Amino acid sequence: MEVRKKDIRALTKEQLRDFFVAQGDKAFRGTQVYEWLWQKSAHSFDAMTNISKETRQMLEDNFVINHIRVDQMQRSTDGTIKNAVRLHDGLVVESVLIPTETRTTACVSSQVGCSLDCRFCATARLKRMRNLNPDEIYDQVVAIDNESRLYFDRPLSNIVFMGMGEPLMNYNNVLKAIEKITSPEGLGMSPKRIVVSTSGVPKMIKKMADEEVKFALAVSLHSAIDEVRTSIMPFNATFPLKELRESLEYWYAKTKNRITYEYVVWEGINDTQKDVDALVKFCKFAPSKVNLIEYNPIDDGEFQQASEAAVEMYKRTLERNGITVTVRRSRGKDIDAACGQLANKS
Ligand code: SAH
């Protein structure tokens, strides 16, 4: 009878070492295999050239390596690359490489689809199929690091969890992936170069604060007025702004880390002075930065980017109140790789 083999990367280093000891081998063999699995990102047991053939066969008989496969790679005229990533069970997610003069940023997915229902986001139209495993998140980063070296002649420098899914609804796996990404036994990247972006799950923000995580937090706010926010991000009815704000105060008190807000200004939705004032009031309690993101149309015109004048008004008001503002142009629009456009069209 065919036994279902275990995903070897679900094992910790200790468990792998114990496994080898139980096989009558040395614990050290476990460490070697662990290095192949993470640091060297081996796709197969056969690639583990310092492991004997018999041992590789034994591993093959017991385990699988559920490595992702980049099925399709698209390149934008602005250099942005989008990967369609096939998972071991056939599902597909997307990740994006965003090059600038000085950085290469990986935008990675945390779930297949999304359970939130943001009206302006293409991913919301795919129902949430499942969470990604830590190794599936890790593999996306490795794939983009390789592409960065290949096409831009430099390693990946930054990671944002702004692809498909809500990272805080897959908290444990996202944290495990970050642990591997930042560990010297993995990619050895600095947590300061990682941003986890959330629609705002208060309980999880507090948990992150308690665990004293070292990466940065971004909150997709889009409105600081409950009725408006609920109309465009329905889950705001469950996690209203007051609770979100409390969790952020808690986060700031514990971590002293500046908070970044992502914000799109839409015509007729949040483009008045009243909307800006509410935003100022919401984020003034801690050093904050607001990224005014360009809207990437995904629909038949229900949402429209506000006028330049409205964006200017936001910028002026925020700056006058000591809040840092950046106005961000979208990248990779021609290949549907920009914020909110990830939806596996292919
Ligand atoms: N669920 C997480 C991660 C997704 S990040 C979060 O909400 O933060 C993707 C970012 O793109 C979020 O800030 C989201 O609000 C924004 N976004 C979604 N759809 C967009 C669109 N059509 N145009 C511009 N930004 C969009």
Mean pLDDT by 10 residues, the chain (346 residues): 82 97 96 97 96 96 96 94 96 96 96 94 88 97 97 97 97 97 96 97 97 95 98 96 98 93 97 98 95 87 92 97 92 85 70
Q: Within 10 Å of residue 54's Cβ, how many Cβ atoms?
A: 8
Of 121, 131, 222, 266, best ligand 1 pocket probe by most atoms within 8 Å of the beta carbon: 121
Residue with CA at minimum distance from ligand 1 atom 8: 198
- pLDDT recorded at residue 346: 47
Tell me which residue has tokens 């808690």.
250
From atom 5 of ligand 1, which residue's Cα is the shortest distance away?
A: 162
Ligand 1 lining (C-beta closer than 6 Å)? 120-121, 162, 166, 197-199, 220, 262, 264, 293, 295-296, 298, 339-340
| CA end-to-end span of the chain | 37
Ligand 1 centre from 273 Cα, in Å? 23
**Residue 189 · residue 176 · CB < 8 Å:** no
Whole-number Cα distances in Å, 140 to 94, 135, 199, 329? 9, 9, 22, 24
The residues that are catalytic are 94, 339
- Residue nearest atom 11 of ligand 1, based on CA coordinates: 339
Q: For ligand 1, pick from 339, 341, 342, 345 the residue to mutate: most ligand atoms within 8 Å of CB.
A: 339
Closest C-alpha among 58, 50, 44, 77 to residue 16: 58
For atom 25 of ligand 1, the residue with the nearest CA is 339
Tally of residues, the chain: 346
Nearest-atom index, ligand 1, CA of 114:
1
Nearest-atom index, ligand 1, CA of 199 = 7
Note the maximum CA span of the chain.
72
Contact partners, residue 142, CB within 8 Å, separation at least 6: 41, 187
pLDDT at 345: 63
Specify the 3-state DSSP secondary structure of 74.
strand
Q: Whose structure tokens read 């779930």?
A: 111
Can you give the C-alpha Rg of the chain in angstroms? Answer: 22
Tell me the CA–centroid distance for residue 107 and ligand 1, in Å: 11
Which atom belonging to ligand 1 lies closest to the Cα atom of 218? Answer: 8
Helices (H), the chain: 13-22, 27-37, 53-62, 134-152, 171-182, 202-210, 226-232, 241-255, 273-283, 308-320
